[in-house]
Chains A and B, each alone.
Chain A
Amino acid sequence: MKRFFGLVLAFGFIFAGCAEKQVVKPEQPATQETTQKAAAPEAKAEPAPVAAKEEPKRVETVPVTEVVETKPGVVAIENIHFDFDKYNIRDDAKPVLRGVSDWFVKNKSAKMLLEGHCDERGTNEYNLALGERRAKSTRDYLVSSGVGKDRLEMISFGEERPLCKEQTEECWQKNRRAQFVIKNAAEGSRK
């Protein structure tokens, strides 16, 4: 008899154990999740605020681009362009690059940032690498024509900063470029 009750009790333990587990288990991750999400700083992404913000921002971007355009107006250096998926310097870029190295002769302490860009076709990471290669080809060409390496910095923006957003070959060609940004331009032009 005792043994029988032992059995019953043991069964009781097993089932009690299971039942308890089942009740507790699903709740735990639920709270974990909510605390994680609640902890996210500046968490916001409801459709309304994003849509509302887009409108005024679009108005603000216009004066920003205008400012950028007046600066290179002092020393206008046109962009050089590349073939699709390529990073070799094309013949049509060489006169521009000669102009750039002449500019460096005149502006002895000036420095330049070479930006490499791509068109929107292609995957992000590869396009960033491609953009960097375009910047590097540009730099190597300038170095071989006598510009000091330390005067040239490079950065790739991949497909992140297109000049034009249409899906046409003309537009894509505009975006596949190396862009010349004069650093401490004021200092350079004074000398």
Chain B
Amino acid sequence: MKSAEVRSQESGVRNKKQLFFIFCILYSVFCILHSADAKVYVDITSPEVKKLPIAIQEFNGKEGKNIADIIKEDLEFTGFFLCLDRAMYIESSLQAFNSKNWTVVGAEAVVKGNVNGEQNLIVTASFYDVFENRELFKKEYKGEKGSVRQLAHSISNDIYKHITGENGIFRTRIAFVAEDEDKKGLYIMGWDGTGIKRLGIKGDFVLTPHWSKDGTKLLYSSERGGKWGIYLLDFTKMTERNIFEAKGLNMTGNFFPDGDEIMLSSSKDETYGLYSLRISDSRLIRIISTRWIEVSPSVSPDGKLVVFVSDRGGTPQIYIMNKNGYDVRRLTFEGSYNTSPAWSPTGENIVFVGRSSGKHHIFTINPDGAGLKQLTDRGNNEDPSFSPDGRFIIFSSDREGVNGIYIMRANGESQKRITPAWLRAFGPRWSPN
């Protein structure tokens, strides 16, 4: 290698062109090889996914077991992995990877790793394909001792990406509303319910926040001094500003894809209606106004449609229209109470709250009104929305007494509480990244 470097330096300008040419060819060959290499181990788009049996060995060194356990929890929750019991393993964590040790156990993929350092950790994770007896990747992750969870989540993301071809959600955050001293405030935590922090905003009431597309801002409605206003919090500066205030009840919807325009509902001017507001120049456009209740507008991911709640038919139901207010049609016909609609990231599904036998449950429906599915059956369940990859739904529920935040797969499987029992929590929204 060294002699190659010396020689190429000697070879002069004439050879540089040649070298560049060879480099280009090699690079394209490499790219082709690489894309062929990116085989999808688990096709998570197929309706019946076969779980990938995976062995996650305890990492050597400080926090090694902890890291391996977090990866295991992450991967298992997706439903695409079957994490094999460590008691079955033949190969010790100190031994080098040998596929023979794993075929016996039934593992198709193996994760091994080492942790170095005390305060600043360097974690090396290796991921192996047992059938092909080769290393799929080896990566180094650096972070402070306190960020072990984040390091482990990064490893989970890489494994998930390698196996499914899609981005993992293991480092995403949840913004939500929680109650402290009878006041409702805004909170933030990891998707696994760890690292809960309260954001120091004013006001006694705040409603479900909405993330900006880049994950740096939060949009929410808050009641302060008898007035309902809409506020925008910027995480990069940790500042908040009021972007809309008027007489009456003003509640924000989500962002349009451009990241500047938002939907909102307002009863200003004594008429009830849905508006779009451009944040940069405060341009407000009335989209519809009626004498009925019209609330909870949600813009589709492509920005073309708006789904909202109206009682124009006598009971609260979900309606859909184009973003200019035309072609309004009713989406829900089952039951006498359907509210809180939110789009899936692909726009193929809408999740909402429906009342059935006096209790609130989470349902999904296609935007054409077909495919209605009930996903919960215990307690009251509210405030649903999708994860950024569309594979999970987050919601709040009182099924265990105190209202808390739960996640489940988008088909309703694996429902679990992620907030602690002492915290009354509502209105969760998943960060886009």
Which one of A51, A122, A124, A157 contacts B427 once the chains associate, using CB atoms below 8 Å?
Answer: A124
Residues on A with beta carbons closer than 8 Å to the beta carbon of B423: 45, 47, 50
B296 and A126 contacting across the interface, CB-CB below 8 Å = yes
Residues on A with beta carbons closer than 8 Å to the beta carbon of B313: none
B340 and A26 contacting across the interface, CB-CB below 8 Å = no
Residues on A with beta carbons closer than 8 Å to the beta carbon of B4: 5, 8-9, 12
Residues on A with beta carbons closer than 8 Å to the beta carbon of B315: 85
CB distance from B167 to the nearest CB of A (A): 12
B93: interface (CB < 8 Å)? no
A123: interface (CB < 8 Å)? yes
A125 and B180 contacting across the interface, CB-CB below 8 Å = no
A47 and B422 contacting across the interface, CB-CB below 8 Å = yes
A59: interface (CB < 8 Å)? no
List which A121-169 residues lie within 8 A (CB) of chain B: 121-126, 128-130, 132-133, 154-157, 160
Residues on A with beta carbons closer than 8 Å to the beta carbon of B380: 121
Nearest residue, chain A, Cβ from B316? A126
A123 and B154 contacting across the interface, CB-CB below 8 Å = no
Given the complex of chains A and B, what is the CA–CA distance between A133 and B236 in angstroms? Answer: 38
A37 and B142 contacting across the interface, CB-CB below 8 Å = no
A132 and B198 contacting across the interface, CB-CB below 8 Å = no
Residues on B with beta carbons closer than 8 Å to the beta carbon of A73: none
Binds B, one of A28-36, A75-83, A102-110: A28-36
B-contacting residues of A (Cβ < 8 Å)?
2-3, 5-14, 22-23, 26-27, 29-31, 33-34, 36-37, 39-45, 47, 50-51, 53-54, 57, 61, 85, 113, 121-126, 128-130, 132-133, 154-157, 160
26 CB-based A-B contacts, threshold 8 Å: A6-B15, A7-B26, A9-B19, A22-B137, A27-B141, A30-B154, A33-B171, A36-B235, A36-B236, A37-B188, A37-B197, A41-B199, A42-B200, A43-B197, A47-B422, A50-B422, A53-B181, A125-B296, A126-B296, A128-B251, A128-B295, A129-B272, A132-B267, A155-B226, A156-B249, A160-B184
Which one of B5, B140, B339, B422 contacts A125 once the chains associate, using CB atoms below 8 Å?
Answer: B339
CB distance from B199 to the nearest CB of A (A): 6
Which one of A26, A33, A37, A156 contacts B139 once the chains associate, using CB atoms below 8 Å?
Answer: A26
B80: interface (CB < 8 Å)? no
Residues on B with beta carbons closer than 8 Å to the beta carbon of A31: 143
A-contacting residues of B (Cβ < 8 Å)?
1, 3-5, 7-8, 11, 15, 18-19, 22-23, 26-27, 30, 137, 139-144, 146-147, 150-151, 154, 158, 171, 178, 180-182, 184, 187-188, 195-200, 205, 207-208, 223, 226, 235-236, 238, 248-249, 251, 265, 267, 272, 293, 295-296, 309, 315-316, 336-337, 339-340, 353, 358, 360, 380, 382-383, 420, 422-423, 426-427
Residues on A with beta carbons closer than 8 Å to the beta carbon of B249: 128-129, 132, 156
Residues on A with beta carbons closer than 8 Å to the beta carbon of B208: 124-125
A122 and B337 contacting across the interface, CB-CB below 8 Å = yes
Residues on B with beta carbons closer than 8 Å to the beta carbon of A27: 141-143
CB distance from A139 to the nearest CB of B (A): 10
Nearest residue, chain B, Cβ from A128? B249
B23 and A45 contacting across the interface, CB-CB below 8 Å = no
Residues on A with beta carbons closer than 8 Å to the beta carbon of B426: 124
Which one of B19, B139, B382, B420 contacts A123 once the chains associate, using CB atoms below 8 Å?
Answer: B382
Residues on B with beta carbons closer than 8 Å to the beta carbon of A157: 205, 223
CB distance from B256 to the nearest CB of A (A): 19
Residues on B with beta carbons closer than 8 Å to the beta carbon of A113: 226
CB distance from B229 to the nearest CB of A (A): 13
A6 and B18 contacting across the interface, CB-CB below 8 Å = yes
Nearest residue, chain B, Cβ from A11? B26
Given the complex of chains A and B, what is the CA–CA distance between A41 and B185 in angstroms? Answer: 13
B197 and A45 contacting across the interface, CB-CB below 8 Å = yes
